[in-house]
Structure 1
C-alpha cells in the first residue's frame, strides 16, 4: 500500500468520525440540560455531562494548567497516532489507528474549545450505569479493540498485496 493510499484511508476514517462526533455533541448540548435524562431504550439514556479529566473522569483538570497539560499530552498522542497510522503497512492496523486518532481529535476539539469533553450516552443495566461517553469514545474503544485483537492474531487477517 502506498503512502498516498494510507493517507487516503486515514482521512476517510478520521474525517467522518470527527464530524459525526462533533455534530452529535452539538445536538446533545442544544437539546439536553446537564443531568437531564432522556430514556431512549430500556438500557440506554441520553444524559448530558461534561468530563474535565481523562477517560471516565479520572485525573480531573479543574485548573487552567491541568487543562493545558491534557491538551498538550493529547495533541502529542494525536501526532504520534497520525504518523503511526500513515506508516502502518497493514490496512487493518492503519484503520484501527485512524479510529483511535479520530476519537482523540474529537475529544481534543472539545477540550480546546470548552476546557472539557461533552458526553451524552448513558448505558445501564440492573441499576449500574457505565460512565457517560460519546461517539469519539466509541471510536477510540473500537480502534483499540481492533488493534489489540489484530496484534494478538485474534482478528480477521486478510492477505494484502505489497
Structure 2
C-alpha cells in the first residue's frame, strides 16, 4: 500500500509540475482548483517563512517516523486496519520526503475553497497521511477497553 501511495503521489506531482508553472491554477469546480504550489514548511505551510533549517528537520523527522512505522508494520501484532493506516502514513511520509530531498520543498496542487476562503493546498501524500491518521483513531476506538 505504501508503494502505491508513493507512486500515485509522485506521478501526480510529475504531471502537475510538467503542466503548470508555479502559481498557475485551473478551476475544476466552484469549490476545487488545481494549482502548483511549493511548500517549504509543514502542514498548512507552518514554518515555511523560516531561514531554511526546516528542510533538514523535516527530512530527519520523516526518516525517523518511517523507521518507527516500518518497525511497527514488521511486528506480528496489530489489526489489518492498524497496518493499513500505518502503510498510508508511511507512503505519504515517503512521498513528501522524496520532494524535500530532490527539490527542497513539497509540491502541492489540490486546492479546495468556499468562495474566497481557501484551504491550504495539499497533495496525494498529505491525503494518505490524513486518512491513515483517521484510520488509526478509528482502530483505537474499536478496541475493547481493559478494566
Corresponding residue number in structure 2 for 1:18? 6
Corresponding residue number in structure 1 for 2:84? 95
The answer as to whether partners of 1:86 and 1:94 remain within 8 angstroms in 2 is: no
Structure 2 residue 128 is matched with structure 1 residue 139: yes
Give the distance between the partners of 1:140 and 1:66, measured in 2 at CA.
Answer: 19
Aligned length: 142
Corresponding residue number in structure 2 for 1:121? 110
Structure 1: tracts of 5 or more residues without a match: 1-12, 155-162
3-state SS, counterpart of residue 39 of structure 1: strand
Residues 128 and 61 of structure 1: CA distance in aligned 2, closer, same or farther (over 3 Å) = closer
Structure 2 residue 100 is matched with structure 1 residue 111: yes
CA RMSD of aligned residues (A): 1.5
Residues 17-66 of structure 1: CA deviation (Å, up to 9, x unaligned): 10010000011111011111101122110010011011111022754543
1:81 to 53, 66, 69: 69
Residues 104 and 112 of structure 1: CA distance in aligned 2, closer, same or farther (over 3 Å) = same
The answer as to whether partners of 1:14 and 1:99 remain within 8 angstroms in 2 is: yes
The answer as to whether partners of 2:38 and 2:108 remain within 8 angstroms in 1 is: yes
Corresponding residue number in structure 2 for 1:43? 31
Give the distance between the partners of 1:15 and 1:86, measured in 2 at CA.
Answer: 16
When the two structures are superposed, what TM-score results if normalisation uses the length of structure 1? Answer: 0.82
